[in-house]
Structure 1
Amino acid sequence: MNLSHATAPEAALPTIVRVGRFYITRELGRGAIGAVYLGHDPVIDRPVAIKTFSSSLSAAEKKQYESQFINEARAAGRLSHPNIVTIYDASSEGGTTYIVMEYLQGQELSKLLEQGKRFPPDEVASIIWKLADALDYAHKNDVVHRDIKPANIFMVADSQPKVVDFGIARSPNRVSEKPGYGDQPYTLSDNNLLGTPNYMSPEQATGRAVDSRTDIYSLGAVMYELLVGRKPFCAQSGSETLLEMIAYKAPPAPHEITPEIPMALSQIVMRAMSKRPEKRYQ
């Protein structure tokens, strides 16, 4: 579940008042599978964000998303980096499964782009460098995100990016509902491809096993969009055609679309988005 930590109306009232030791102050956002609340940690005296399930989920849906919650807590909980959201706690209590994480004030990168926000090349370089450092740290700790995209990058003050939503990340202690499929390119619930098509690596698009280099490709696709103002591939006839484009076609280099983009940044994007994983940054 990926909900902004600062987008709901101030008047939204919580339906629960406490989970674990954490008190709930107000609702921050709500989606199809649950809600995010602003909470308070009385022990450390700090604000926190709390993600919970919707009570309307079926038993099968709850099991699926509970697995994703556990995976998010286990993957991100292993990590401590200034550009990765910090997980404080995760548990189930009284039928409520929840994750407690640092409270981020800002906006998802995807929403900034939807609003027409454009970043100058030097700012794009700074944002991507920080995200690359965060992913390098995660990879050294055996965590592969597998769904890097603007919606999973949260921008806080001073253009500081935070990688969020590790629900489908691959980590040594991840949980899968299907034994034997934990490291394969499938979702927890069915055999759909894992990831988001517009930012999916060629190996993801063709259903092959992935490693850390899939995150490098996806980050390159994000950088492409930040520089050019559009996604690398835009198919009009459905996801199958889009996946074929990702797997077999090369997009025009950023500087070919916008000549003002420095050649060095354009080359970084194209190397990160190489079709062959071994040709990407390692």
Structure 2
Amino acid sequence: MSVPAIAPVTPAISRIGRFYVTRELGRGTVGCVYLGHDPVIGREVAIKTFNPRLTPSERNKYEQQFINEARAAGRLAHPHIVTIYDASVENGATYIAMEYLQGRGLNRVLDSGHRFKPDEVASIVWRLADALNHAHQHQVIHRDIKPANIFMTEGDLPKLIDFGIARAPNRLADKFAHVDDPVTLLHGNNVVGTPNYMSPEQASGKPIDERTDIYSLGAVMYEMLVGHPPFHAESADKLLQQVITKAPPAPVELDQHIPVVLSQIVMKAMSKRPEKRYQSAEQMALEIKRYLLKEQRARRRMRLALPPEAQSKREGFLASHSMMAWLGYFSLAAATVLTGFVLLR
């Protein structure tokens, strides 16, 4: 795990568990993240613990969320899910030691105005769908898939993070999940998630299963393709009503450059009725993979379809430009040597 780059902060503590604290990476209302060093393995880790400013009662309120995150993500091993190394409570300090990631959250990438190309979106979401399939096979439902919980590492490789409100085997208590969080909602201890990316059944407080994550991933894919979330409203209540009752326009209707196939994948994933969606994240991943393979074959055919004379011209063009580049280089080198000779005289 990582946080947006900020000026280094000297930590008030030097050690958490067996980990030596290097510096503070950032903090929120509840948590604080440090860069640490594992002396046993000899690697850098991100250590997530409570914000030192929390009162004991506030810590008790959120402690089960920390434990749940460790239990949910700790049972998973996938290249696109953050790796949990350790979790413990020592000397009154609850912490999670996890993989140290460098990059930034998908939410910050989107907020910067960056628009992904359709094939880039497909490649990223395919990996996320595969990661969700792995989680679901281990009976872990994330329940809060959103851009802020997708971390983009170098090379635009995504990692699912923050399993704090995930539903997993042996979950201790849902009632502690994200209480009083202004972005995440909790109604009647049933509705948990982030409004713009919640499934209709999640927004209604109905029972959920793995298909709620599929809907949320579809909503993320929607935003990546068109540049904004599928719904917008002045209040959370109105937003939830839109999620429950309203179908957003298909991405291709908003941008004709978006491939129809990707638009269809998004709309199927975001179907209001769970039985109309992909019934597993694996199905969604396979359909995106088929699209990517088809596009790859099409580009290869286009290259091979060039007539011999066109290929010869292309090769001759590249060769001539390469020769011109070398001639230019040697001319510049000769001029530089001559200039140096004149200056030395």
TM-score, normalised to structure 1's length?
0.93
Superimposed CA distance per residue, residues 98-144 of structure 1 (whole angstroms, 9 cap, x where no aligned partner): 00000000000001111111100000000000000000000000000
Bigger mean CA offset, 21-30 vs 123-132 = 21-30
Q: Which amino acid aligns with 2:261?
A: A
Q: Give 5+ residue unaligned stretches, structure 1.
A: 180-185
State which of 206, 217, 220 in structure 2 corresponds to 1:219. 217
Q: Say whether 1:124 aligns with 2:121.
A: yes
Superimposed CA distance per residue, residues 14-45 of structure 1 (whole angstroms, 9 cap, x where no aligned partner): 11111111101011111111210110001110
State which of 101, 107, 111 in structure 2 corresponds to 1:110. 107
Question: Does structure 2 conserve the Cα–Cα contact (< 8 Å) formed by 1:271 and 1:281?
Answer: yes
Distance 2:64 2:151 in 1: 23
Structure-1 residue corresponding to 2:231: 233
Superimposed CA distance per residue, residues 44-68 of structure 1 (whole angstroms, 9 cap, x where no aligned partner): 1000000010232233321221101
Superimposed CA distance per residue, residues 220-269 of structure 1 (whole angstroms, 9 cap, x where no aligned partner): 00000000001000012x11111110001100000000010000000000
Superimposed CA distance per residue, residues 191-238 of structure 1 (whole angstroms, 9 cap, x where no aligned partner): 4730000000000111101110000000000000000001000012x1
Structure-2 residue corresponding to 1:196: 194
Bigger mean CA offset, 74-83 vs 52-61 = 52-61
**Which structure shows the bigger proportion of residues in helix conformation?**
2
Question: Does structure 2 conserve the Cα–Cα contact (< 8 Å) formed by 1:5 and 1:103?
Answer: no
Question: Does structure 2 conserve the Cα–Cα contact (< 8 Å) formed by 1:64 and 1:177?
Answer: no
Q: Say whether 1:148 aligns with 2:148.
A: no
Question: Does structure 1 conserve the Cα–Cα contact (< 8 Å) formed by 2:82 and 2:98?
Answer: yes
State which of 144, 159, 164 in structure 1 corresponds to 2:161. 164
Residues 177 and 248 (structure 1), Cα distance of their counterparts in 2 relative to 1, 3 Å cut? closer
Question: Does structure 2 conserve the Cα–Cα contact (< 8 Å) formed by 1:52 and 1:98?
Answer: yes
Superimposed CA distance per residue, residues 141-166 of structure 1 (whole angstroms, 9 cap, x where no aligned partner): 00000000000000001110000000
Q: Say whether 1:135 aligns with 2:132.
A: yes
Distance 2:230 2:29 in 1: 29
Shift of 1:95: 1.7
Question: Does structure 2 conserve the Cα–Cα contact (< 8 Å) formed by 1:86 and 1:101?
Answer: yes
Question: Does structure 1 conserve the Cα–Cα contact (< 8 Å) formed by 2:127 and 2:158?
Answer: yes
Number of residue equivalences:
271
Distance 2:277 2:169 in 1: 24
Residues 139 and 177 (structure 1), Cα distance of their counterparts in 2 relative to 1, 3 Å cut? closer
Bigger mean CA offset, 197-206 vs 59-68 = 59-68
- 1:1-282 correspondence to structure 2 within 5 Å: 4-10=2-8, 12-176=9-173, 187=186, 191=189, 193-236=191-234, 238-282=235-279
Max radius of gyration: which structure?
2
Shift of 1:4: 4.3
User: SS of 1:194's equivalent?
Assistant: strand
Q: Percent identity?
A: 65
Distance 2:165 2:198 in 1: 13
Stretches of 4+ moved more than 3 A in 1?
Answer: 189-192
Shift of 1:176: 0.4
Distance 2:144 2:214 in 1: 11
Question: Does structure 1 conserve the Cα–Cα contact (< 8 Å) formed by 2:69 and 2:162?
Answer: yes
Q: Which amino acid aligns with 1:168?
A: I
Shift of 1:177: 6.3
Q: Which amino acid aligns with 2:205?
A: G
Question: Does structure 2 conserve the Cα–Cα contact (< 8 Å) formed by 1:8 and 1:27?
Answer: no
TM-score, normalised to structure 2's length?
0.76
